[in-house]
Amino acid sequence: MANPVVHFEMVAADGAALATFYSELFGWHTEAFPMPDGRSYQMVDTHSGAGVNGGIASSPDWTGITIYAQAPDLQAVLAKAESLGGKTMMPVEDMGMVTIASFVDPQGNVIGIVKESEMEPPPRSQGSNAPVDWFEILGTDGKALRQFYRDLFGWEISESMGEGFDYGEVKALGDGIGGGIGASPTGGSMTTVYANVDDLDKYIERAESLGGKKIMGPMDAGETVTIAQIADPAGNVFGLYRPKS
């Protein structure tokens, strides 16, 4: 199977504070998990029964959102990414519970990879919270970026959605989530994830009351979905969407 996206991660100077923000915003459950280097990593269970779960890491000098694709041989993925114009950011590292690595794609997005486990993955906890079930990778040249990920991961990606709209959909694989790859409206690189919510305005207002701010929207994105984006208190841009009925 081609490499499914199975995890998301947010980074902030104070991971515990960011975990509190998302717990209060979406009702997600977070739990501190000790790392080998002594730091605490916040595990996120959305309790939505769908999508993927994630984590929140603490870092004194970096913020951002990363998606993780699953692979049986992480070193082989890093080598292939470099042959296609990417660059290794973090070499393969055993974190105790999982083995991970990351690379920078040719347009500046940091993407994580996680080794397939021989153990059965934990089930998605049931609940009514907002699931994270869409990712987005944007850069300066959507067509070239889509081809990079086709060649690297074998993802099935539509080429373009509409005249003059440089954006293609990534088909979901196995237990992973689907997403989109395209050109950024700002001209820079950007990776984010989207939560499926029942009311965009409600979650924007709630995010603002908790110290976040609205970045854009609500706005229509094609004929089937309405989207918005917020910035959390650490500055990470997080997406919201609602399918049209």
Q: What's the pLDDT tens digit per position in 18-72?
A: 999 999 999 999 998 876 666 678 999 999 999 999 999 988 888 889 999 999 9
- Residue 30, token pair as written in the block: 């977070």
Distance set, CA 83 to CA 18, 143, 245 (Å): 36, 18, 44
Q: Could you tell me the pLDDT band of residue 198, with boundaries at 50, 70 and 90?
A: very high
E strand or H helix at 30: strand 29-34
What is the bridge-based pairing of β-strands 132-139 and 178-183? parallel
Residue 156's CB: how many other CB atoms inside 10 A? 14
Dihedral of the alpha carbons of 180, 223, 186, 130, in degrees to the nearest 10: -60
Distance set, CA 93 to CA 101, 114, 189 (Å): 6, 10, 25
Average pLDDT, rounded, for the chain: 91
Residues contacting 146, CB < 8 A, separation 6+? 157, 159, 168, 181, 182
List beta partners, residue 29. 45
Instruction: Please tell me the pTM assigned to this model.
Output: 0.93
Least confident of 16-20, 117-121, 220-224: 117-121
pLDDT tens column, 151-162: 999 999 988 765
Percent of the chain topping pLDDT 70: 94
- pLDDT at position 190: 93
What superfamily does domain 5-115 belong to in CATH?
Answer: 2,3-Dihydroxybiphenyl 1,2-Dioxygenase, domain 1 (3.10.180.10)
C-alpha 242/C-alpha 245 separation (Å) is 9
- pLDDT at position 192: 96
Residues 179 and 169: beta-carbon distance below 8 Å:
yes
- Over its C-alpha atoms, the chain yields an Rg (Å, rounded) of 17
User: For domain 132-243, is the CATH number 3.10.180.10?
Assistant: yes
DSSP type of residue 177: B
Q: What is the mean pLDDT of residues 5-19?
A: 93
Higher per-residue pLDDT: 7 or 175: 7
Residues of the chain with CATH 3.10.180.10: 5-115, 132-243
pLDDT at 187 exceeding the cut of 60: yes
